[in-house]
Structure 1
């Protein structure tokens, strides 16, 4: 959804077609477009349901979160596939390539920010009740802070996610302990590597 919005903004910000000779907005494959559009409608509907469930304290709220995360991940994969098709099937301009890369980078970080929080936060709460219980992600403040009741905030997970994307590995003094978190780290690093290869390869072709 974010990627499509950026492409739309790039299209209307170039009314005089300054990138003459280039397909500023290449069409996606129709199957990918339909699937992505349907997923985006479902995600919006699920977001509304989750807000209502949170207000009414519905017990299956975590299951709704899981479904939302899975659909958001599928939507991200479809956007990456659509970008690959657009890059290698059309003469994508450098300006659009930059916009697509930024959109996918932000979307990827948002998706993995959700998954890290979804996987690790319950283990952090469990640690408050049982200090010997391991966490999925180990934060350095857990050793520095003498307060045993410290819990990571949204900023901590955002920092962990963004630095993991930029360095393709966990931040310094952070440890990935849980098996699910390790899988998430592998998927995030692979996604960033794919994005990097796409951008660099297309940039080289653009220069040629």
Structure 2
């Protein structure tokens, strides 16, 4: 999921942003806004950092079929999250300083929706997983952070474990509804903070990007 998010950033959002800037101004970042150059530089740094960290730290563990500890997973999750936030700020500034066509804005809003959805598939799993498995190589004793899924409510279901599709459904529906999916519930402060952050980011995307796109249609 984090790799998909990083690929959307690398091949989708940042290219879309550069096209918008070129079409609107045919100018450098600093000629449009002094913040664009800084944020764009940070985006390249975090993007490069993500892929370097993945290749040097995560990929060897996957190839060697060894357990990934939570520190490695947390680090690459944070790199992907910072990359998303940087992208979000860039597009907000781009929206305020350039006249972007409505369908371009909608395209960027859709890309951001999937990008943050993929990131929060990871975070929901990351906080929920320790309460279900001891497969991660860690001595970390987490407070209770658990997601209740509807499948767990059935009396005939024993030792049911959520899979990728379950976390993906939760994250994508939460992004559209701006709230937890029906039949699901969150337990624990870390999951609640993650869900609150997810909701705030999606609210910003709908209010600033999608609303602006609809406004420019008329």
**What's the TM-score, normalizing by structure 2?**
0.78
Please, which of 6, 10, 14 is the counterpart of residue 12 of structure 2?
6
Residue 4 of structure 1 deviates from its aligned partner by 5.1
Show CA shifts across 1:48-83 (max 9, x none).
Answer: 220202333556632111000111111110000000
Residue 178 of structure 1 deviates from its aligned partner by 1.5
Name the structure, 1 or 2, with higher relative contact order (CA <8 Å, separation 6+): 2
State the alpha-carbon separation in 2 of the partners of residues 158 and 180 from structure 1: 18
Change in CA separation of 1:205 and 1:63 when aligned onto 2, cut-off 3 Å: same
- Paired residue for 2:24? 23
Count, aligned residues: 194
Q: Residue 50 of structure 2 contacts residue 79 of structure 2 at CA under 8 Å; is this kept in 1?
A: yes
Q: Residue 168 of structure 1 contacts residue 189 of structure 1 at CA under 8 Å; is this kept in 2?
A: yes
Please, which of 57, 68, 72 is the counterpart of residue 76 of structure 2?
68
Please, which of 47, 52, 59 is the counterpart of residue 40 of structure 1?
47
* Structure 1: runs of 5 or more not aligned: 13-18, 127-132
Matches within 5 A, 1:188-203: 188-203=198-213
Q: Residue 113 of structure 1 contacts residue 161 of structure 1 at CA under 8 Å; is this kept in 2?
A: yes
Please, which of 142, 151, 155 is the counterpart of residue 161 of structure 2?
151
State the alpha-carbon separation in 2 of the partners of residues 9 and 88 from structure 1: 16
**What's the TM-score, normalizing by structure 1?**
0.82
